[in-house]
């Protein structure tokens, strides 16, 4: 694949974004209240309004932002929470991102690329835990092209564990491809293509990505355009927080989202907001040049929820249990759980391995432990993949989401997948809290919907699988 940046424009106007930040520092309380009134309507916010909220540091205003975010989150997403696991396929990489344990210059890292058989073994372990949605993660090595990536996706879809069933949606986080390459991923049926810009500040980007394909800022900036051009309707974006001023990178990310919407009629399906985590031989990851405090981070998630109410917000296990718990209420709609961050990790009995992993994770709990906690907090874990499989993706999904579809379809579907989980994978402790939660949700449906949901839950009890609306 040739990296070709000719004719590509930087649609992020750095000066304009810096100017927005400058003119909205310490916003007036009345201004913040007005913006929150608008945010309650769940129609999104402008960059200027978003910048005001990001910089409202007064504790009382913060609490108001949090309250509004909780209300919007609940109104759109209810109490369901989508779960997935990352699966690292290779840690071989030709780039030198200064913050990443997989960088080419890190000679102490044990390099591994899963063979098809090893990949199958990893998938079976994840299937036996109850996972139905995976995010495949790849280093960027010139020897691995789109054909190979597509083959690994196919291997995952083809792997069905005897005990427990199949993976129903494979998302991808790999380096940017050309349109032809993305078409191969589209043809093999990937769900979301995810690519983080890391930082939108070109000077910082250049300093942190000195060699390899990734040094080409514009090639990466246009990756999601190429993916959408190739027919991948769900794309995911995000900055890596800690590399540059988080306000600049979040606003730029939203400008990126707006650019996609202008061009393709739909913005990103998901936004992620990873914070830098310690990684082997990556000093900058231990001492981020622009650290972001926990309070700033929480506010940022709440503000994202208000700024792009219908975009999924993804939280990984980089964050610890307490932070993850708080962010669920403030806006997060998808979390990874039981994650490990190196190739072969799920079949490795000694999985605490800094010599192979990409970065350290903050929440080491098993999938089942995470599920128990979220159920105790009133959330329904969901492995639903109905939209993607029924073609409700991209613009189509967004239109439906705006009409309250998430509550009407996604909510029952989450109950069906949770019921399957309880039946096929959960231990007694999880069942004892999960079954009453499902019953309570069923009781709260209007009568007509309740009958339909109850019938399907009964069919699952009887052994049918993969039912959805």
- Which residues of this chain interact with ligand SF4, rule CB under 6 A? 93, 95, 97, 100, 102-103, 139-140, 175, 214
Residue among 321, 289, 315 nearest 302 (CA): 315
Q: Least Å distance between CB 101 and ligand SAM?
A: 7
The yes or no reply on residue 285 touching ligand SAM (CB under 6 A) is yes
Is 45 within 8 Å of 76 (Cβ atoms)? no
For helices 294-307 and 246-264, give the axis angle rounded to 10 degrees: 20
The yes or no reply on residue 292 touching ligand SAM (CB under 6 A) is no
- Three-state SS for 143-182 is CCCHHHHHHHHHHHHHCEECCCEECCEEEEECCCCCHHHH
The yes or no reply on residue 192 touching ligand SAM (CB under 6 A) is no
Query: Residue 219 or 468: which CB sits closer to ligand SAM?
Result: 219
The yes or no reply on residue 276 touching ligand SAM (CB under 6 A) is yes
Alpha-carbon torsion, ordered 412, 416, 417, 421, to 10 deg: 140
Is 455 within 8 Å of 445 (Cβ atoms)? no
List binders of ligand SAM among 48-107 (CB under 6 A). Answer: 99-100, 102
Q: Least Å distance between CB 146 and ligand SF4?
A: 16
Candidate list 89, 135, 174, 361; residue touching ligand SAM; CB under 6 A: 174
The yes or no reply on residue 319 touching ligand SAM (CB under 6 A) is no
Q: Least Å distance between CB 371 and ligand SAM?
A: 24
Residue among 334, 254, 286 nearest 81 (CA): 334
Compute φ and ψ for 12, nearest 5 degrees.
-90, 115
Stretch that binds ligand SAM, among 120-128, 270-278, 342-350, 404-412 (CB under 6 A): 270-278
Q: Which of helix, strand or coil describes residue 36?
A: helix
Tokens of 142: 């010139």
Across 167-239, the runs of DSSP E, i.e. the strands, are 169-173, 192-194, 234-237
The yes or no reply on residue 249 touching ligand SAM (CB under 6 A) is no
Is 251 within 8 Å of 295 (Cβ atoms)? no
- Residues in contact with 396: Cβ distance below 8 Å, sequence separation at least 6, in sequence order: 233
Query: Residue 38 or 111: which CB sits closer to ligand SF4?
Result: 111
Candidate list 27, 44, 274, 381; residue touching ligand SAM; CB under 6 A: 274
Q: Least Å distance between CB 174 and ligand SF4?
A: 9
77's contact among ligand SAM, ligand SF4, none, with CB below 5 to 8 A by partner kind, is none
List residues binding ligand SAM (CB under 6 A).
99-100, 102, 137-140, 173-175, 195-196, 198, 240, 274, 276-277, 279, 282, 285, 318, 358-359
């Amino acid at each position: 694949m040739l990296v070709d940046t000719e004719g590509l424009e930087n649609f992020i106007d750095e000066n304009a974004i810096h100017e927005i930040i400058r003119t909205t520092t310490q916003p007036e309380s009345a201004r913040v209240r007005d913006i929150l009134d608008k945010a309650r309507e769940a129609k999104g916010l402008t960059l200027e309004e978003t910048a005001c909220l990001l910089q409202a540091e007064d504790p009382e205003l913060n609490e108001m932002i949090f309250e509004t975010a909780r209300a919007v989150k609940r109104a759109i997403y209810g109490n369901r929470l989508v779960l997935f696991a990352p699966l690292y396929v290779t840690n071989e990489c030709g780039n030198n991102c200064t913050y990443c344990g997989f960088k080419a210059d890190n000679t102490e890292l044990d390099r591994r690329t899963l063979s098809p058989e090893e990949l199958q073994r990893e998938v079976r372990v994840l299937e036996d835990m109850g996972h139905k949605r995976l995010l495949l993660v790849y280093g960027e090595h010139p020897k691995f092209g789109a054909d190979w990536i597509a083959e690994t996706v196919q291997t995952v879809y083809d792997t069905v564990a005897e005990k427990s069933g199949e993976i129903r949606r494979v998302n991808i986080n790999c380096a940017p491809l050309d349109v032809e390459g993305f078409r191969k991923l589209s043809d093999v049926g990937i769900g979301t293509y995810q690519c983080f810009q890391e930082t939108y500040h070109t000077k910082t980007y250049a300093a942190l990505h000195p060699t390899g394909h990734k040094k080409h800022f514009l090639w990466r900036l246009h990756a999601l355009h190429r993916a959408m051009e190739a027919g991948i309707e769900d794309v995911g974006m995000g900055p890596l927080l800690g590399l540059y001023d988080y306000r600049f990178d979040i606003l730029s990310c939203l400008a990126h989202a707006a650019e996609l919407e202008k061009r393709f009629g739909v913005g990103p399906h998901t936004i992620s907001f990873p914070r830098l985590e310690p990684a082997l031989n990556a000093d900058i990851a231990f001492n981020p040049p622009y650290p972001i405090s926990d309070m700033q981070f929480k506010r940022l998630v709440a503000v994202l929820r208000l700024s792009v109410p219908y975009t999924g917000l993804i939280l990984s296990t980089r964050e610890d249990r307490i932070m993850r718990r708080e962010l669920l209420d403030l806006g997060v709609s998808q979390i990874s759980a039981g994650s490990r961050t190196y190739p072969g990790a799920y079949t490795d009995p000694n999985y605490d391995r800094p010599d192979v992993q990409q970065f350290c994770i903050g929440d080491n709990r098993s999938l089942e432990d995470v599920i128990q906690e979220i159920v105790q907090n009133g959330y329904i874990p969901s492995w639903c993949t109905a939209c993607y499989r029924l073609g409700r993706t991209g613009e189509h999904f967004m239109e439906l989401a705006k009409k309250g579809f998430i509550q009407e379809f996604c909510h029952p579907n989450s109950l069906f997948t949770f019921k399957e989980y309880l039946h096929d994978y959960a231990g007694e402790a999880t069942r004892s809290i999960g079954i009453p939660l499902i019953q309570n949700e069923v009781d709260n449906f209007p009568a007509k919907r309740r009958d339909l949901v109850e019938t399907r839950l009964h069919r699952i009890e009887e052994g049918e699988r993969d039912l959805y609306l």
